[in-house]
Structures are given as C-alpha cells and as structure tokens.
A and B are shown apart, each in its own frame.
Chain A
C-alpha cells in the first residue's frame, strides 16, 4: 500500500525566507504526486502535480516541487515566503497503474510565516 510521509508537522519561516516542505512516498512504482494547500476553514486547492515528463514542476502562487525518484521525494519549495502563504499543506499520491484511484494524503504540514 502506498504511504506518504511529510517531515515536520509545523514549519515556521520569516517573511521573504525560503520555504521548504518535505514529502517522501513509499511505493514500488512512482505514483502520481500532488501538493494541495488548505487555508483555514476552506477546502483543498491544488498547488501542483507531477504525472510525467519534466521532474521540476511549477505551480500556483510561486511554488514548485521536484520529483526525485532516487530519493522517493517530492519536496515543495518557494523562494520567498509571503504572509498569505500561511496555511496547511498536504502532499498526496495516487496509483498511476489504476484509474480514478483516491488520493493518499500525508499528515500535513502547517506553515507559519513570521513578519
């Protein structure tokens, strides 16, 4: 069964600093990979995804993530944090060998941005 590990349940950065949120997956075949963001009392919004092709993917709001097969990782980064980035971030995977499979989520990382 697939699983997702997000290192750090809470990450705090200063405004303007680099954001790095870590995600590792475990499955024998690299899955499809996603990052979602959840603002307080809201649903989940897709930030970016990796399915195939270029391993560095760019998403919305200046975020990007790099798929590294050798490290089974899909870390999320943003060069300069804004106050508006404060939210909960979820890494998720789905099985690329099965159609319409549900997402398996990590436990989430809460990002705080300090002025």
Chain B
C-alpha cells in the first residue's frame, strides 16, 4: 500500500533524449511536489501543484515540464537531457499540516 510511488526507480539515458518520470499518491492530498537531490544530497524544490494547478515553479530550465492529469498524479517530462540533469528526483505530496510524504525517488543518470 505505497502512499507515494514513482516510476521508474532508475533511469539511464543519453544526452539529448527526452524522458518522463511518473508519480502517483493515494493519500488524497491536494498538493504535490517535485524535488531534485543533487550529488551532494542537497534537496531543492522544483515544482508544486495544487489541485492540478501549477503554483510554484522555481528557476528550473523550461526543458522540465510537469503535468498533472488529476490531483493524484504529477508527472515530470524532461526534454533534451543534459549531463547536469543527473540527480535523484523525488515526488512528494502534502497535507494541510504541511508535512510531506516522499516517494522512493528516481535516480536519473545522463551519459
């Protein structure tokens, strides 16, 4: 009964390819997030969606495009991948009490 799930767990691809990461939550939360964890383990917000509406878009290249088909899903599409995009991407969903539940992460490696 996974609360926040992500697929795939590992993604290895070449530069300039386009890839997607999917996220689903079964917690009934209205808000979902994408975070990026770099090689030094630093976590930073990328996007935030509330009820399928984009509410936060940090300074992320426009090659990254989130899409929320419904409030239980938030997918991340990345165009024209670059070496610097290699990282672990975490999806999370949040409650009104501000705590957030994280998915297991997707380790993206761009070669």
Interface residues of A (CB under 8 A from B): 32, 34, 36, 38, 41-46, 49, 51, 88, 90, 94, 96, 99-105, 107-108
Contact = CB atoms under 8 A, between A and B. Distances in A.
Given A42-B105, A94-B98, A100 B40 contact: no
Closest 6 pairs between A and B when the two form their complex, measured CB to CB: A102-B45, A44-B102, A100-B31, A43-B102, A105-B43, A43-B104
Nearest to B107: A41
Contacts of B56: 101-102
Main secondary structure of the interface of B (DSSP, over half): strand
B94 interface: yes
Contact of B100 (A42, A88, A103): A103
B1 interface: no
B44 A43 contact: no
13 contacts: A36-B102, A42-B104, A42-B105, A43-B90, A43-B105, A49-B98, A51-B97, A100-B50, A101-B98, A102-B45, A104-B45, A105-B44, A107-B42
B104 A108 contact: no
